[in-house]
Copies of this chain bind each other. A is one copy, B any other.
Amino acid sequence: MSTEEQGGTTVLRHEPDYQPPRSWRTWLIGRPLPTADAPHQTIGKLVGLAVFSSDALSSVAYAPQEMLFVLAAAGMAALTHAVPLSLVIVLLLVILTLSYEQTIHAYPGGGGAYIVARDNLGELPAQTAGASLLTDYILTVAVSVSSGVAQIVSAFPGLFPYRVELGVAFVLLVMTINLRGVRESGAIFAFPTYFFLGSMTVTVIVGLARHFGGSLGVVENPPTLEATGTVGTVGLFLLLRAFANGTTALTGVEAISNGIPAFREPKSRNAGLTLIWMSIILGTLLLGITFLATRIGAVPSEAETVISQLARTAYGGRGFLYLATITGTTVILIMAANTSFADFPRLSAILAVDGFVPRQLAYRGSRLVFSRGIGALAAIACLLIVIFRASVTALIPLYAIGVFLSFTLSQAGMAHRWWKIGHLASGQEVKERGSTLRYEPGWKLKMVINGFGSLVTLVVMLVFAITKFRDGAWVVVLLTPSLVYVFFRIHLHYQSLARRLSLEAYGAPPPVARHRVILPLSGVHRGTLEALRYARRLSDDVTAVHVSTDPSEAEKIQDKWELWGEGVRLVILDSPYRLLLEPLLAYIQEIADHRQPDETITIVVPQFVPKHWWNNLLHTRAANMLRLALLFKPGIVITDVPYQVE
C-alpha cells in the first residue's frame, strides 16, 4: 500500500493481491486477463481476414444465385445479363472499398459509418447508422445460423424438429468462443474460413481452366426451372431487382471499419490492407462464380444450389473435392455470425461511451472483450431464432436494408468530409472528435466518387425496402426510427443525470440538525436488540414501530419491550387488513411529510441473514420488501443491521 499526502486529504493506493478464483467460468472462457494485457489481445492481418471477412465472403454462396433467380423470371436467356450486372456490382465494391479504406485511416478508432456520420452529418444520421448496423448485425447472426441449420437439417432430416434448439446452441457456442477473447476466437474460426476460401477458389480455378481448355460441359440433370411469375421480357425494374439481389454480396464490406482496434499496430494500415485483400477475393469469386454459372447453364432453384451445380460440373461428379466445397459453404454460412460477434460489441461500446445505449455495454469482461455486448447480441439473436422458428425465408426480408442504409450514410459523410477538406487552406489542420482534417488535392474527384457511391447504395436500399416491404421489410422500416428514438431518450437521461449530479454551483450542504431513527420490529429478540443498540448510537430520537395483525402478539411484544426496550418509545400500528408493509409505509410517510428541511430520517431494519439460501423461503423477507418500497421515497436513509444465526 502506498500513501501520498496531497493537500489535506490522505490518498492511499492499494493493490489488492486479489486473484480471481478458478470457477466454471474459467473453464468455459479462460482465466481473466489483466487490463495491461490489452495490447497483446490483438490480431494480425491473416486472422483479421478470417474474423471480419467471413460475413462478406459467405455471401458469394447465395448472392449470384439470388441474382439469377430474378433474371430467370424472364426465361433462361435472360441469365446472360448476370455477368454484366456482376461487373457493375464489382465496380460498386471498388467504390465502397476505396471509401472504407480512407475511412479506416481517417477514423482509426473504429466505428465506421457511425463515426463518419457523427462527425460529418450530425447526431440524427449517426444514430440512424448506428441503429441500422446494430439491427443488421443481430439479423446476420439469426439469418446465418438459421441457414447453416437449414443445410444441416436437409442432410439429416431427423433433426428437423430440433432446428430451433440447434440454432440456439450454435449461437451460444459462437458466443462462448467469442467470450474467450478476439485472439482465441480468431484462431479457432480461422481454419473454417480458410477452408471455405481454399475450396471455393479451387472450384473456380478448375472451372475456369476447364472452360478455357474447352472441357467444361453443361450441368448434368439440372433442377427444373420454377416458372414463378414469368415476365418474358427483361425490363429496367427486373434488372434493378437482380442488381439489388446481387449486391447482398457486399454486406460485410463495412465490418473491418468497425473493428480497427482489434488489429495489431499499425492498426489502420493492417486493417486497410485486410480490407483490400478481402475485396479482391470477394470480387474475384463473385465474378468467377457468376461467369461459370452462366456458362454451364446452371439453373437457380430451391432444390439444388448454384454452388452445388457448379462444383459437380467443374469436378465432373460428386467426389471428395465436391464434398469439401459443400461442407465449406455450410460452415461459412454459420461463420458469418462470427463477424457480427466481432463488430456488434465494438460498435455498441462506442455508442455506450457516447451515451446512447446503456453504459454497461462499454464494460470489458474478464477476457478484455465487451462481454455484455456479446451476451446481448446472443440473447436477441436467440430470441429472433425462437420467434421465427429458425426460418431463413421469414428472416431474410429483414436483412441487408440496414447495411445499405449505413453504406449510404457513410458515403455521404465521406463526401461531406471531402468538401470540408477542399475548403481548408493548405497546411491547415482541423481536429474533429474522431479525426483530423488536412487539405488534400484531388478532393473533388473523391467527393464525386463517394457521392455517387452514396446514391447507388441509396437506390439499392430503396429497392430492397420497396420490393420486400410486405414480406417483412416493414419491420425494419418501423424498427430503425424507434431504435433511434430510444437511443436519444437514453442520451437525454444520461445528460440530465450528469447535469443534476454536477458539483458546479453546489454549495456546502446544510448541517444535519435533527436525526430521527425509526426501528420497525416484528418481535423482540436478540436481532432486534442488536438493531436497537445501533439505532441508539445514531440518535437519541429513536422510535420502535410494530405493525400488529394480532392483538395477543402485540401485547406480548409490549411486555417484552418493557423489559428490554431501554425506555425507547414503541408505536404499535394496528393493521385491520393484516397488511404489514402498507401501514408502516404510511406511518413513515406521515413523519417524512412533517420533517424540517435539516432533518434526516433513518430506518434501521433488523435483517435476518439465513445460513442456507433455502432458509430464505421460510421467512417473509418483510425487511427486503420494506427496502424496495422505501428506496422510492426521497431522502430516507435505510440501514440494514444484519443478525446472522450460525
Closest chain B residue to A534 by CB distance? B637
A15–B572 Cα distance when bound, in Å, is: 8
Closest chain B residue to A372 by CB distance? B620
- In the assembled complex, the CB of A526 is this many whole angstroms from the nearest CB of chain B, namely 5
**CB <8 Å contact, B645 and A636:** no
**CB <8 Å contact, B7 and A493:** no
- Chain B residue numbers with a CB within 8 Å of A530 are 509
**CB <8 Å contact, B366 and A577:** yes
**CB <8 Å contact, B638 and A639:** yes
The 8 Å CB contact of A534, one of B32, B35, B524, B600, is B600
With A11-B570, A538-B538, A562-B6 already in contact, the answer to whether A503 and B515 are too (CB < 8 A) is no
A627 interface contact, C-beta 8 A:
yes
With A9-B569, A10-B570, A14-B574 already in contact, the answer to whether A515 and B537 are too (CB < 8 A) is yes
A635 interface contact, C-beta 8 A:
yes
**CB <8 Å contact, B6 and A359:** no
Instruction: Quickly give the copy total for this chain.
Output: 2
A6–B555 Cα distance when bound, in Å, is: 12
**CB <8 Å contact, B512 and A526:** no
A586–B358 Cα distance when bound, in Å, is: 28
- Chain B residue numbers with a CB within 8 Å of A640 are 627, 631, 637-639
A375 interface contact, C-beta 8 A:
no
A100 interface contact, C-beta 8 A:
no
With A577-B366, A609-B632 already in contact, the answer to whether A493 and B570 are too (CB < 8 A) is no
**CB <8 Å contact, B493 and A618:** yes
- Interface-central residue, A6, A32, A494, A497, by most chain B CB under 10 Å: A497
- Chain B residue numbers with a CB within 8 Å of A619 are 359
A1–B418 Cα distance when bound, in Å, is: 78
The 8 Å CB contact of A644, one of B494, B620, B634, B643, is B634
**CB <8 Å contact, A500 and B645:** yes
A641 interface contact, C-beta 8 A:
yes
**CB <8 Å contact, B506 and A567:** no
A556 interface contact, C-beta 8 A:
no
Closest chain B residue to A615 by CB distance? B493
17 pairs, A vs B, C-beta closer than 8 Å: A9-B565, A10-B569, A11-B569, A14-B587, A18-B575, A20-B582, A35-B549, A359-B620, A496-B645, A501-B645, A512-B533, A627-B640, A634-B642, A634-B644, A635-B644, A637-B641, A638-B640
Besides A13-B571, A635-B642, 9 new A-B residue pairs in contact (Cβ under 8 A), listed by A number: A12-B570, A14-B574, A16-B575, A32-B577, A358-B618, A365-B578, A493-B618, A512-B537, A638-B642
Query: Which 6 A-B pairs rank lowest in CB-CB distance, beginning with the nearest?
Result: A501-B525, A34-B576, A639-B639, A8-B567, A32-B577, A12-B571
